Amino acid sequence: QKEVEQNSGPLSVPEGAIASLNCTYSDRGSQSFFWYRQYSGKSPELIMSIYSNGDKEDGRFTAQLNKASQYVSLLIRDSQPSDSATYLCAVTPGGKLIFGQGTELSVKP
Amino acid sequence: DAGVTQSPTHLIKTRGQHVTLRCSPISGHKSVSWYQQVLGQGPQFIFQYYEKEERGRGNFPDRFSARQFPNYSSELNVNALLLGDSALYLCASSSGTGVETQYFGPGTRLLVL
């Protein structure tokens, strides 16, 4: 079992729709959870961090964390073509980040 | 404020050669971590340094080494390059070694021929 698993892509949604990205992790000692966006050929860019169970909203982005189910998700509302990228889920018990393989999102105009 | 900087941006080497990659963290950050990202995968942790001391090491061979300088900048060295070392090498900066957010530099793309 991989330490961090993301739903396999690519995920294609129409412009204006809600994109839902999911991630599960195996280490119950994980304390911090992050979503990074990575455009092709670029480095990862932080979108959201979440530390407590529940929802955290930032503009069009909402991160959801359920530690009991070891599950993290990212919702992107009113998706735009500029949101087309690979989304990386990362968890850490402290120190190193452990990444999933990423989910490629394509937003069609 | 300047973000994380890395140099060089691109590098081409041949098998068996040695390479040194450099990173400067965000001002005020004392921790630097190195990651390797091969095409189609998420970044893999290589090293973490804090206050010039190694605080974590990933599952990489001894050909990989790193150090951190008094100004908190860092170098990643890779000896005896293999074709499989071709990847994007990412440096991340954070204020500490715990659960703090890590911010990535632009990366160094290494191609080994």
pLDDT-based confidence at A17, cuts 50/70/90? Answer: very high
Q: Does A96 sit within 8 Å of B48, measured CB to CB? A: yes
Does the pLDDT value for residue B97 go beyond 80? no
Q: How far is B84 from chain A (nearest CA, A)?
A: 18
Mean pLDDT across chain B: 95
Q: Which residues contact B89 (CB under 8 A, 6 or more apart)?
A: B6, B21, B34, B35, B36, B37, B76, B107, B108, B109, B110
Picking from A42, A51, A100, the nearest residue to B42 by CB comes out as A100
3-state class (DSSP) for residue B12? strand
For residue B18, give how far its alpha carbon lies from the nearest alpha carbon of chain A (Å).
24
Asked if B105's CB is within 8 angstroms of A101's CB, the reply is no
Q: Is the pLDDT of residue B99 over 90?
A: no
What pLDDT score does B1 carry? 60
pLDDT digits (tens, 9 = 90+) for A83-107: 999 999 999 987 899 999 999 999 9
B56-94 pLDDT tens trace: 999 999 999 999 999 999 999 999 999 999 999 999 999
Number of H helices, E strands in chain A: 0, 11
* HSE-up of residue B93 (Cα within 13 Å, Cβ side): 21
Tell me what the mean pLDDT of segment B24-35 comes to: 95
